[in-house]
């Protein structure tokens, strides 16, 4: 084994080689459910071994340390009984799946923080009467993962975290449509962290955190700005995720990055996890999210909301985009700022229509309240579950004086490089875009600051391509946006029909 800390490239190649050991027996979206807990277990085991060695120097005997640990688990970060440690797991040649499953369940019983996290998968599971992953495949995977140590002196937490994120990206590349459930492209997450620009002591919240990438990129941005200055008040992170398997990955991911993170399991829209003792929504300094675009929620979600979140209006049941945005807005403190990546239609649907339109009317409230700080149009084909471009909306409850009454629109649709299987934002584009936002700069063909009055004249259409034209752009309404508008029109028609029938019944008219 090479000496010194492992570098990220070595880690990435090694972990992907391990992942390839189970390619074939299971579908690509399931790779992560098996290998990520094992990488996490390897890290836990090696760190635990390091801590035993440190304590052995203090107490002069490993045997004494083992006795002390059996009585007081708080002497270490996580306590691993002997049979759950990697060296014991690596010895197994038969009933490997059963042994692994028993090991992770034992660890979860001994460590409350890991319950529902490390034990989320059954390595001995079967489908149609056959093992999903055979003992032979598991043994191969364990042998590859045993090649390097992942202890405190072997690999920096952020380096291991980057390799973990690399695995998530590789899994997403093979997952097609399902990838959107857990993964935001790294460069989009980095860009959002620059927009949020966290400061010491900030509390950061993601209401649909997936695998935790947006929170982690904010953590890394903070470290990039301030280094390892221990005198600064640390960031605190909060996230909620509806899918149990993805929740488990988010917990592992934040543990591996050595972050102070509180990740909750559940449906944020119907049962938000972070509340005050009085039962109202907890408020945060920064909020970041990539919710599922154009989700369908029944009208009762908004009409019966006990948290007073939807004060600017109820979005159509065909698209929850402005429902999510209002939840995030309601979760900000009086000086808070948020960045959300959402479908492009969220900033333009309904503008120019005759009469009432719910999404346009909600946008109007945000614009007239002077809360919208910037809208950033992304390139197409960045995301793993859609080829649509998406927009980042920055909303600020306390805009700097020089930005009041203005909205900065950034058209970054051409600032990408072709990649396989997806396009990506190169580092220079991330810097260019973030500098334009942070410096509040107009740049020909890329950005323009408009007034609230100009937004009103355009019926609250906030699409950057409307104000910052680029050659060859097509302003045709995308099919998915047309479908959302059609569904909204049908919903309004049904309501009008029901109201008309009620009036006629009251008048005694037969229908």
Element (H, E) at 56: helix 28-59
Looking at residue 133, its pLDDT comes to: 86
Looking at residue 199, its pLDDT comes to: 96
Looking at residue 428, its pLDDT comes to: 96
Angle at 310 between CA 306 and CA 315, to 5 degrees: 125
Distances, alpha carbon 420 to alpha carbons 127, 170, 427, 468, in Å: 33, 11, 17, 28
Strand pairing of 261-265 and 236-241?
Answer: parallel
Residue pLDDT, tens place only, 93-105: 999 999 999 999 9
Q: How far apart are alpha carbons 191 and 424 in whole angstroms?
A: 12
Residues 6+ apart with CB under 8 A from 233: 200, 201
Element (H, E) at 144: helix 135-145
Q: What is the pTM of this model?
A: 0.86
Distances, alpha carbon 493 to alpha carbons 179, 363, 498, in Å: 35, 22, 9
Looking at residue 488, its pLDDT comes to: 58
Superfamily of segment(s) 8-173: N6 adenine-specific DNA methyltransferase, N-terminal domain (1.20.1260.30)
Q: Kindly list the domain boundaries of the chain, sorted by start residue.
A: 8-173, 181-444
Neighbours of 374 (CB within 10 A): 25
Cα atoms found within 13 Å of the Cα of residue 178, Cβ hemisphere only: 13
| CATH match of 181-444 with 3.40.50.150 | yes
Strand pairing of 130-131 and 203-206?
Answer: unpaired
Looking at residue 21, its pLDDT comes to: 80
Strand extents, DSSP E, 266-421: 284-289, 332-342, 372-377, 391-396, 406-411
Looking at residue 508, its pLDDT comes to: 73
Looking at residue 471, its pLDDT comes to: 61
Q: Do domains 8-173 and 181-444 have the same CATH topology?
A: no
370: left (phi over 0), alpha (psi -120 to 50) or beta: left
Query: Rounded to 10 degrees, what is the CA torsion of 184, 188, 189, 193?
Result: -160
Residues 6+ apart with CB under 8 A from 123: 34, 96, 97, 98, 100, 101, 104, 133, 138
Which residues of the chain, if any, have pLDDT below 50? 1-3, 25, 472, 474, 476
Looking at residue 474, its pLDDT comes to: 46
Looking at residue 115, its pLDDT comes to: 94
Report CA 422 to chain centroid distance, whole Å.
19
Is 417:213 a contact under the CB 8 Å cutoff?
A: no
Reduce the DSSP state of residue 156 to 3 states and report it.
coil
Looking at residue 159, its pLDDT comes to: 83
The dihedrals phi and psi of 98, each to the nearest 5 degrees, come to: -65, -40
From the list 247, 237, 242, the residue with the least C-alpha distance to 37 is 247
Report the 3 state secondary structure along 299-312: CHHHHCCCCCCCCC
């Amino acid at each position: 084994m090479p000496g010194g800390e492992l570098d990220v490239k070595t880690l990435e190649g090694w972990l992907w080689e391990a992942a390839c050991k189970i390619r074939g027996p299971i579908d690509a979206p399931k790779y992560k459910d098996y290998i990520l807990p094992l990488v996490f277990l390897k890290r836990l085991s090696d760190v635990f071994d390091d801590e035993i060695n440190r304590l052995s120097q203090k107490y002069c005997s490993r045997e004494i340390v083992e006795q002390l640990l059996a009585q007081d688990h708080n002497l270490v970060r996580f306590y691993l009984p002997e049979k759950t440690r990697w060296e014991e797991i690596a010895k197994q040649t038969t009933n490997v799946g059963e042994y692994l499953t028993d090991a992770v369940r034992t660890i979860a019983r001994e460590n409350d923080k890991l319950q529902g996290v490390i034990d989320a998968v059954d390595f001995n599971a079967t489908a149609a009467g056959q093992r999903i992953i055979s003992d032979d495949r598991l043994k191969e995977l364990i042998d590859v993962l045993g090649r390097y140590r992942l202890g405190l002196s072997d690999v920096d937490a952020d380096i291991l975290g980057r390799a973990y994120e690399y695995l998530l990206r590789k899994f997403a590349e093979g997952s097609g449509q399902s990838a959107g459930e857990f993964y935001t492209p790294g460069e989009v997450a980095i860009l959002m962290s620059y927009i949020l620009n966290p400061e010491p002591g900030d509390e950061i919240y993601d209401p649909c955190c997936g695998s935790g990438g947006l929170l982690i990129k904010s953590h890394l941005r903070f470290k990039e700005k301030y280094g390892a200055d221990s005198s600064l008040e640390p960031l605190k992170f909060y996230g909620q995720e509806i899918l149990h398997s993805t929740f488990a990955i988010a917990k592992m991911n934040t543990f591996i990055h050595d972050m102070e993170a509180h990740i909750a399991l559940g449906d944020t829209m119907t049962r938000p996890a972070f509340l005050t003792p009085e039962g109202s929504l907890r408020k945060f300094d920064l909020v970041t999210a990539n919710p599922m675009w154009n989700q369908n929620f029944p009208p009762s979600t908004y009409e019966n909301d006990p948290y007073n979140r939807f004060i600017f209006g109820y979005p159509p049941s065909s698209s929850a985009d402005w429902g999510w945005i209002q939840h995030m807005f309601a979760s900000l403190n009086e000086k808070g700022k948020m960045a959300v990546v959402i479908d492009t239609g969220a900033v333009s649907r309904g503008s120019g229509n005759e009469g009432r339109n719910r999404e346009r009317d909600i946008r109007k409230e945000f614009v007239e309240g002077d809360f919208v700080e910037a809208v950033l149009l992304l390139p197409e084909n960045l995301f793993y579950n859609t080829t649509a471009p998406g927009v980042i909306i920055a909303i600020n409850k306390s805009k700097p004086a020089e930005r009041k009454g203005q909205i900065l629109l950034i058209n970054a649709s051409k600032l990408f490089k072709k990649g396989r299987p997806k396009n990506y934002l190169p580092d220079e584009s991330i810097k260019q875009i973030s500098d334009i936002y942070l410096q509040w700069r107009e740049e020909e063909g890329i950005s323009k600051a408009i007034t609230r009055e100009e937004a009103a004249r355009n019926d609250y259409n906030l699409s950057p391509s409307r104000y910052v034209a680029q050659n060859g752009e097509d302003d045709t309404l995308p099919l998915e946006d047309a479908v959302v508008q059609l569904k909204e029109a049908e919903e309004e028609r049904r309501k009008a029909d029901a109201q008309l029938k009620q009036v006629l019944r009251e008048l005694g008219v037969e229908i």
